[in-house]
Amino acid sequence: MSRSARGRVLLSVTGFNPHRWHELLSAEREVVLEPDRADDPSIDYAVVWKQRPGVLSKLPNLKAIFSIGAGVDHIFLDADVPDVPIVRVVAENLTQYMTEYVVWRVLDHQRQGAAYRAQQPRKVWHEPPQPPATEIAVGIMGLGQLGRAAARALLALGFRVNGWTRTPRPMGGVTGFHGGDGLGPFLAATDILVVLLPLTPATAGIVDYGLLRGLRRDNALGGAFLVNAGRGKLQKEADILRALDDGTLKEASLDVFEEEPLPPSSPLWTHPRVFVTPHAAATSDPVHLVPPMLRQMARFERGESLENVVDRDAGY
Ligand code: NDP
Ligand code: OXD
């Protein structure tokens, strides 16, 4: 089938240069780069990251929306998203990146990375206590595509792993908790908290002082740790700072922030026990993500169902 006979794509992106996405999508489809011809009635699909509000509702024949990321909260920033299927990213490459990030941050906290970074400029030769992984419980909030893969890697390293989900999600080797009633017991059994939740009305602001107080501090590491690679608006940064300063939290690794880029005025940048990365835990690489998007469009045109469709009621 020729390119022009296939459904057309609108690429609508803010915050980064979509050149490579345009190039790779164009290999099979005609691609309109918004804002050009952004109300073209011949558009069938939209590929989006934080699209400008109102753009999608101008497409009368839109059939499906493809998120450039695993999260879809950026799409719902637009109150006017047409009622067509929304497909999110589920890809080995993205999952691998996130697993690496989680393992990196958990190992850094377990192996006292912050203490060594503080010692080195002072030329201090001192070995802090080294509790083994088997004595440490990592609690993962969100045992979805990313959380389950991270759990598998942590289990292979010998960590104890707890998981917290919305609905029961049994997983071998993982102690599972779910729902509001499960949250307290999950936190009380967790030394290093890893947040891999989607941002939805039910999860916004969930990582607050009260939640951090619930973590286990009397443990082999001498305190509780936070790793957030889900979304910034899951956390209350003032509460994290308070928790770090009063000993509720020992250290935090944050990849996502209430406001991104993290403003230069944020005290998180210079806090000695906070490790900042710029929303880089699992980057969306178009070389790996465009081919499955194109395959899904072709499947859809053959009458087959789309995969990884978002549950709009749940918001993820
Ligand atoms: P999934 O949809 O596969 O999994 C989401 C998990 O969160 C599920 O286990 C789900 O529970 C759980 N969950 C959702 N709502 C609640 C709730 N109210 N209470 C308890 N648990 C809840 O998502 P992914 O694993 O693919 O991705 C997770 C998030 O990671 C994305 O939404 C995105 O925000 C973030 N992300 C960040 C990146 C970065 O670079 N920092 C890169 C990629 C993603 P259940 O199993 O019961 O449905
Ligand atoms: C995503 C992200 O959702 O990169 O994939 O944040």
pLDDT in tens, 116-162: 999 999 999 999 999 999 999 999 999 999 999 999 999 999 999 99
CB of residue 203 inside a 6 A radius of ligand 1:
yes
Q: Closest Cα to atom 35, ligand 1: which residue?
A: 230
Q: What's the pLDDT score for residue 25?
A: 98
pLDDT of amino acid 243: 99
pLDDT above 70 covers a percentage of the chain that reads: 100
Query: Which is nearest to 220 in space by CA: 196, 199, 250?
Result: 250
- State yes or no: is 178 an active-site residue: no
Pocket test for ligand 1, best of 77, 197, 207, 257 (most atoms within 8 A of CB): 197
Place of tokens 């509720």: 248
Q: Please report which ligand is nearest the Cα atom of 144.
A: 1
Of 279, 288, 302, 312, the catalytic one is: 279
Please name the amino acid found at residue 139.
G
CA separation for the pair 57, 33 (Å, rounded): 16
Atom of ligand 1 nearest to the CA of 255: 41
Mutational test site, ligand 2, from 89, 95, 200, 316, max ligand atoms within 8 Å of CB:
89
Burial of 29 (0-12, 13-18, 19+ CB in 10 A): buried
Write down the pTM of the prediction: 0.98
Q: Which residues pair with 274 in a beta bridge?
A: 252
**What contacts 78, CB < 8 A, 6 or more positions away?**
51, 52, 53, 54, 55, 56
